[in-house]
Each structure stands twice: as structure tokens, then as C-alpha cells.
A = this chain, B = another copy of it.
């Protein structure tokens, strides 16, 4: 092999990105070195800084570089409303599509026993304590409309009822099997606005 080791290392390292195989990694490396070294350096610095500086908010589990994220720390949010989502991307989608001014709880996943993801992995002990504190009146369950998302929603609804908190679900109208993150804003805003009390 004659390719420079640093270049090989870069190509190999680029493959940690989702959807990037050997051929795309090679193209990315060549393109950065050939046409955008500033961009490559900026990305390298940003990666190290984010990996080392971004943790999880201790209230909502969203990504945050502070112990408590800006949303949880905000004095202008409605603390009676808590919205549970599977991922930071879903939280962002709701924040951008709706006028929601309550707080969030980011599960960072969904119940998936076969993958070893149970209540502990989703921080549901933290959520249970939060609901037991008494300040939350409604838990808006905004998991994805998939089989695992529905099972997670069912579990969350029970958790809410046990704490005397009213659980609600986004209105149906979301396409079954779809990814919430990719739904257009109008549909998402409508489903969010017409959310209904969660059934058993």
C-alpha cells in the first residue's frame, strides 16, 4: 500500500459515520484534503469539543453541555406540561413545528427488550421521580408510531397514572410505521394540537 498512513487513518475513521462505507469515506477524505482543509480542520476540532463537552441534561436527558439544559433552566416554560420523546431529534422537531412551551423528557431510545433496552436504559426511574414531585399535570407521550414506540407509550401512560398524572398521546393522523422526525411540520403540529388522553 502506498497511500499515506494519516490518510488511511482518516478514511478508516470516517467510516464511523452512519451510512458511510469505504468508497464514500475515501471520497470524503480526498475532497476535504483537496478542496476544503479549513472545513476539515473545523470539523475535527468540533468533533473533539462535542465529544468531550456535550453530556446529558440531568433533568430531561437531552444533550447539553451544562448540567441543566437551557430549556429545563428556562423560567418561561410551562412546568405543568412534560412531553416524552424518543430522541433529541424528535424534541427538536416538536419544538420547531409546534407552539409547545412545556418541558421535555428525552428517553434516548424506546423499550426494546430484545436489544436489552428496558426502563432503566430510558431513565424511567428519573421520570418516575419527576412525576412524583407533583408539579406535572400532563405527560404528553410523543413516542414514534411504531410497534416499539407504541409499547413504550403504553408503559409511560401507566407510569403517569400511577403518579396521578394525566397521560396524553399525539392524535392519530401520524402515518403508522413512520419516523416522527421526518414528518412534515403541518402534520406534526396538527397531531400535537389534537392529542388525546391515552387509553389503556
Contact = CB atoms under 8 A, between A and B. Distances in A.
Contacts of A74: 2
Contacts of A16: 32, 36, 39-40, 42-43
Interface stretch (A6-14, A128-136, A155-163): A6-14
Interface in A45-94: 45-54, 62-66, 69-71, 74, 87-89, 92
Interface in A86-128: 87-89, 92, 95, 108
Given A2-B71, A44-B44, A9 B54 contact: no
> Which of A39, A46, A49 has the most C-beta atoms of chain B within 10 angstroms of its own C-beta?
A46
Chain A interface size band reads 35 or more
Contacts of A3: 63, 88, 92
Nearest to A57: B4
Contact of A95 (B2, B31, B89): B2
Interface of A: 2-7, 9-10, 12-14, 16-19, 24, 26-34, 36-37, 39-54, 62-66, 69-71, 74, 87-89, 92, 95, 108
Contacts of A92: 3, 26
Given A2-B70, A27-B89, A51 B37 contact: yes
21 contacts: A2-B62, A3-B88, A4-B63, A4-B64, A4-B66, A4-B69, A6-B46, A6-B50, A6-B54, A7-B50, A13-B46, A16-B39, A16-B43, A18-B31, A26-B89, A27-B89, A32-B51, A40-B47, A40-B51, A44-B51, A48-B48
Contacts of A12: 46
Contacts of A29: 50
A10 to B, nearest CB: 4
